[in-house]
Amino acid sequence: MTEISAAAEQIKQTLTVDELDTLPIVEKRKAWDAAARAATLPEGVTFEEFKFNGVRCVMHAANEVKDSDQLILYLHGGGLVEGSAETAREWCCRLAKATLYPVLAVDYSLAPEHPYPTAINEVIGVCESVLDDARFSLLSIGADSTGAILALNALIQLRDKQKSLPLSCFFLSPSLDLSFSGNSITANSKSDLLVSLSVLKHCAQLYCGGAKLDSPEISPLFADLHGLPPTLVHVDESELVLDDSVRLKEKIRAADGDVELVIMQGLWHVWPTWGDFPESTMATEQIAEHIRLHRRKIG
């Protein structure tokens, strides 16, 4: 196994697998939000709340921002039942400072109170509202974990509606197959330090209701993936959802798309969002360069 930094190793020693329990989802949400609000935030970033198509969003902008009208839209993970714009705040601040573009975190509705298709409809509505707003343009779209389901579905629907697409997109440990058919679900059942299949399946059922788990609308890995923006994916080799990233790369390339897959060793699910340590900084800089590269291509 590749040696990781001392800072990463220190975090790694604190990790525990999220097993299915009886704690109410509302209490889990409160605890996660409280922990996120207690985190130390990078200096030099301001916050502003917006509503796009009626959906609350939080914009994170570095003081030395390049173009305040060009947005990176970000969708948090959490199984589509937990997480919020607040739980993504520390990471969005670092991303805003690294890219010098504002990062707009979407506070989409969560299951089970709001099952499919509420969240995806909200995200598409936000994207279309941003695209129609003369103040802004959509530079890139990114997501972690199950947030990638919403991001990829939004890209597919924008493409099919012949709307303008972002110049690039990026995913952190994307979970894109809620039927959990990837080989890594079994192969990495003992190596994933955070995620359990029982929790994945539970969240999927809460989100999907009666919809088919392998339908393209629920699991966009099975959709037609032609015509997507250049895509960057980060994942660790130990993850249950590793094969979602591998298959995403294969499908995009088969459709003649532009995709780069970075597979790390010795880390964990969505590690770039876990604070400022060497491996996280490296991933953030790679994402920033990916966004800058495809921004430069249009002049």
**Catalytic residue positions?**
145, 239
Distance, CA of 47 to CA of 57 (rounded, Å): 10
Question: Residues 139, 293: contact at Cβ < 8 Å?
Answer: no
Strand partners for 58: 49, 105
Distance, CA of 211 to CA of 222 (rounded, Å): 15
Structure tokens at 142: 């990114």
In a 3-state reduction of DSSP, which class is residue 3?
Answer: coil
Task: Supply the Cα-derived Rg of the chain in whole angstroms.
Answer: 18
Give Dmax (Cα) for the chain: 53
Nearest by Cα to 81 from 209, 180, 189, 170:
209
Handedness of CA 272, 278, 284, 287 (dihedral sign): negative
**Cα–Cα distance list, 249 to 157, 166, 170, 252, 282 (Å):** 19, 18, 12, 5, 21
Place of tokens 């430069």: 296
Vertex 126 angle, CA 62 and 224, to 5°: 110
For the chain, strand residue ranges (E) read 45-52, 55-62, 70-75, 103-106, 137-144, 168-172, 231-236, 259-264
